[in-house]
Chain A
Amino acid sequence: MSESAEQQSQGATALRLHRELVAIWGTGPGLERLAAVNHSIIGRRMMITSFVFFAIAGVLGMLTRVQLATPNGNFMDPETYNQVFTMHGSMMLFLFAIPMVESFAVYLTPKILGTRDFAFPRLTAYGYWCYLFGGTILTVALIAGVAPNSGWFMYTPLSSNIYTPGVNADVWLLGVTFVEISALSLAVEIVVSILKMRAPGMSLDRMPIFGWYILVTAMMMIVAFPPLILGSILLEVERAFGLPFFDPTRGGDALLWQHLFWLFGHPDVYIIFLPMAGVLSTIIPVFANRPLVGYRAIVVAIVALAFLSFGIWVHHMFTVGIPHLALAFFSLGSAIVAVPTAVQIFAWLATLSHGRPRWDVPMLYVFGFFFVFVMGGLTGVMVAMVPFDWQAHDTYFVVAHMHYVVAGALAFPMLAGFYYWLPLLTGRAAVHRLAVPAFWLVFVGFNLTFFMMHLTGLLGMPRRIYTYQGDEGWNWLNLLSSVGGFVMTIGFALVVIDLIVQLRYGRRVRYNPWGSATLEWAMPLPPPPYAFASIPSLGPWSSQNASGDLTLSLARGEGYLGFARNGWQETLGVHMTTGEPEQLIVLPQPTYLPLFTGIATAAAVLALLFKFYLLSILAALATAGLFLLAAQRAGLARDYGPLPVGHGVSVPPHTEVAEAPAWLALICTLVADGTLFTSLLFGTFYLWIAAPNWSAVMTPVPSRMFVFVAVAALAVAAAAARGSIRAVAAGGKASGWMSLAVLALLAAIAAAVGLIAGVLPHPREHALGATAAALLSYVALHAGIGLLFLISNLLRLGAGFIAPRRVLDLRLTRLWLDYTLVTGVIAMGLVLTLPALVTVLARP
């Protein structure tokens, strides 16, 4: 049988297109892999790295179980035990859970949304390197015996330098902040990419539900991480320089840390859950052979869950002495947060009910999810009831609840997702039946380990004790949990073996083994670096269909951008709500710059850790320089006008449109920054209202002249930025305006520094001074970053990147300076007025 001539020529077309695109999108071999910026490569790397940290953290958990299996255990001394359990929690949550869900988002989102990559590939790579280096710092500290030892949530004053003098706590504060900043930058990128980079025709109501889950999750990250970053900065400053944010003897409050931490910590668990719920919402319809039930209801549920999760953090603090009325707000909120979750659970059940379910390994893990997560959710409602929590708080009951919800929300769906997407990741499908016994070992082992902990906690066993006496009635329960832990570990080991076996010996598959409708299957398996040879579109009446026909059609270049042009990495930007093609996005190619920037950032962090402050400043400047360098290489150096992208459509490149990705990215970054600023304001007010030792503090007024100069200078800078845009748009010169802005910012920084130098009470003596110094430093820092923006603008002006139709750079600067002005006015207003308020409205 011979192929028809037409089929042969079509095959040749596809092959030629493939070769051209690989030449443009491919990453080189060997050391050049360190220059990768491609989302498939980075996503896979993140998954593997997360798994390694999961294994290490799992071993740490097993060590605690060995210690606790019998009373009066002396397998580990208290100091070692404290490091082990702190690192178990910290690594699991910061180095495994968040990065793992982000790796799913990174690998899958562009493919499911029908685009070729994310908006800022170099940022994806930088995020990965920061994660790897931050995690390495923490791991090395563990090996060196100086790991953090104050618990994964690091309550003050225990974690202050009086009670934890060594470098352990600093490792946590700096290492975790490093990792969180990387996660935050990925989150910004994900939001921008989901909003602007989708297949043409993919309006919001036709976006696969996975896109909604990841969009909302990334938005949550933008608002959830800053309070933790702020808290970590404040605590590190307290430890290193003695500013008493959390010291009750000098106007600080230990509870401020708890508020800042849990403001992050509670949304964090929903940030972990939502992407995995997205995995379930994607997988269950495939195995039910019908589309998902309740798409609209689920979108509303996701939004409700996102917001509600930010309003219930105090349920971690029910025993700190807050009045019952206030606790009631958080108890009720914690109860009703079960509603959006229940909506999703019943939507999944309804999908299965109205479909024709089939069974396979992923469904085993879906069953595991239902069993474990529902149980965890029910105990969650229990601890949401204040009187019960007054007994259960900080006991093994909470340990049980926590592991049930995390394993239920993360581990089981993640493994379901791995088995489901393994053909996409590797191009191979399962052949061995090891998966089933492995699942049961994990499932039985997990329940054996953690189910009885509910009782252990109710019998009074507190968290974080390294041993117990043996007369409390906890002995057999702990032994059982420890045995279960070993069973579970064996199970996980078998799962890893099974995945590796399939990787090497699985049956090769070519296309869409599950018959799924989503677009990540409309490509050869494993995916090529460009993902889609041509970009799919959703016509007005077509159903999404990742059939073999669509895959072949795209491979032949019949979608959009089915050609190579100028050696550019091209993809399409669309209108946010309708999905109409709007702009041609040209992406940067592989480069070592993210790696070098990550190394410079790591150097700055390490220098801070070892208190080499001058070196740290130099490394920070080097990092800033590398970011400037990266900015110089972005975009296009001349006007192009509308360019054809296929199907008779022409759109301008992203440098010539108003809503380019970088614009949205800055807005998202400012939302994160604004959250950090708001947290700082909240912290200041909180200390005034609730901290001890504020009634006798002296309250002189800061220099009004400096404040006036600073605010005026910031206003001038913002106005000059506007002037520069008008000048360039009219075809004139902007360098005069930009120089004015530089001078104004320098004046603002000088005034802020002058104010900081004169802060009374001295920042080390009382929190009133410390918070004032923090607010003023915030303004000075932002003015300094404004200078970086202007330097970048001047360089790019000289290189021809800025023109009347390409003013994006100047608009970004203007936005930043506007933000600096607004926050500067608020911060300095507060610094000016708070002392007077404290005196006039003295607390009884």
Chain B
Amino acid sequence: MSDRPVPPRELWLLAAGFTVWCSALVALYAIHGIGCSFGWSVDSLRLWLSAALLAHLTVLSWMWHDITRAGPPAGFGLTGAFLHWAVTATLIAALAATVITFGPPLLLATCI
């Protein structure tokens, strides 16, 4: 086989995007729970939530940008191309999911 073997790391990258989505859920749910329990002000809580969401969106955007800029890795053959496409697609899906799942709720009443 003339192609170089795709390192297993590429397989685990499939999980990367949605791991960030899960992290966003944990962070936002925890911040919200702590803020409501400890009586933070409405504006303060919304600010922290927005900051946490923004941080995760930044990470996801950077990951997407990074993988698109690099392009499909050369010399890894069809397996490499397949994983590259799949990883990119999961990143885009995770980014969309993060925006949709966590954006609109931040506009709602905070602790009721």
Identify the A interface with B (CB < 8 A). Answer: 203-205, 296-297, 299-300, 303-304, 306-308, 310-311, 323-326, 328-329, 332-333, 336, 540, 575-578, 580, 685-686, 689-690, 841, 843-844
Contacts and interface: CB of A to CB of B under 8 A. Distances in A.
B83 A311 contact: no
Given A296-B85, A304-B90, A325-B110, A689 B37 contact: yes
Contact of A203 (B8, B21, B79): B79
9 contacts: A304-B93, A307-B15, A324-B109, A333-B97, A333-B101, A336-B97, A578-B5, A690-B37, A844-B39
Contact of B79 (A300, A306, A332, A578): A578
Nearest to B110: A325
A328 B79 contact: no
Nearest to A540: B1
A303 B109 contact: no
B82 A296 contact: yes
A689 B33 contact: yes
B18 A326 contact: no
Contacts of B33: 326, 686, 689-690
A577 B11 contact: yes
Contacts of B104: 328, 332
Contacts of B34: 689
Interface of B: 1, 3, 5-8, 10-11, 14-15, 18-19, 21-22, 25, 28-30, 32-34, 36-39, 78-79, 81-83, 85-86, 89-90, 93-94, 97, 100-102, 104-106, 108-112
A513 to B, nearest CB: 31
A304 B29 CA distance: 20
A820 to B, nearest CB: 24
Nearest to B96: A336
A308 to B, nearest CB: 7
Which 5 pairs between the two chains have the least Cβ-Cβ distance?
A307-B18, A328-B105, A205-B82, A577-B6, A203-B79
A118 to B, nearest CB: 20
Contacts of B32: 323, 325-326
A325 B31 CA distance: 12
Contacts of B1: 540, 578, 580
A7 to B, nearest CB: 34
A325 B109 contact: yes
Which residue, of B30, B34, B81, B105, has the highest number of chain A Cβ atoms within 10 A? B105
Contacts of A205: 78-79, 81-83
Given A311-B22, A577-B79, A204 B11 contact: yes
B86 A296 contact: yes
A658 to B, nearest CB: 12
B111 A323 contact: yes
Contacts of B25: 311, 329, 333
Contacts of B100: 332, 336
Given A299-B86, A300-B90, 4 more contacts: A205-B79, A328-B104, A332-B105, A578-B5
Given A307-B18, A307-B19, A332-B100, A577 B37 contact: no
Given A303-B90, A311-B21, A843-B38, A328 B108 contact: yes
A300 B93 contact: yes
Contacts of B97: 304, 308, 333, 336
Nearest to A844: B39
A685 B34 CA distance: 10
A329 B32 CA distance: 11
A843 B101 contact: no
B78 A326 contact: no
Given A304-B90, A307-B21, A690-B37, A575 B82 contact: no
A238 to B, nearest CB: 23
B30 to A, nearest CB: 8
Contact of A323 (B10, B78, B94, B112): B112
A841 B40 CA distance: 13
A577 B29 contact: no
Contact of B112 (A324, A575, A577, A690): A324
Nearest to B6: A577
A262 to B, nearest CB: 13
A685 B18 CA distance: 24
A191 to B, nearest CB: 12
Contacts of A300: 86, 89-90, 93
A329 B49 CA distance: 12
Contacts of A577: 5-8, 10-11, 79, 83
Contacts of B30: 685
A329 B100 CA distance: 9
Contacts of B15: 303, 307
Which residue, of B19, B38, B82, has the highest number of chain A Cβ atoms within 10 A? B82
Contacts of B14: 303
B111 to A, nearest CB: 5
A324 B106 CA distance: 11
Nearest to A678: B26
A576 B22 contact: no
A843 B90 contact: no
Contacts of B29: 326, 329
B64 to A, nearest CB: 14
Contacts of B10: 577
Nearest to A580: B5
Contact of B101 (A310, A332, A690, A841): A332
Contacts of B37: 689-690, 843
A578 B6 contact: yes
Nearest to B81: A205
A169 B15 CA distance: 37
Nearest to B36: A323
B8 A329 contact: no
Given A205-B83, A299-B86, A300-B86, A336 B101 contact: yes
Contacts of B86: 296, 299-300, 303
A324 B89 CA distance: 31
A329 B5 contact: no
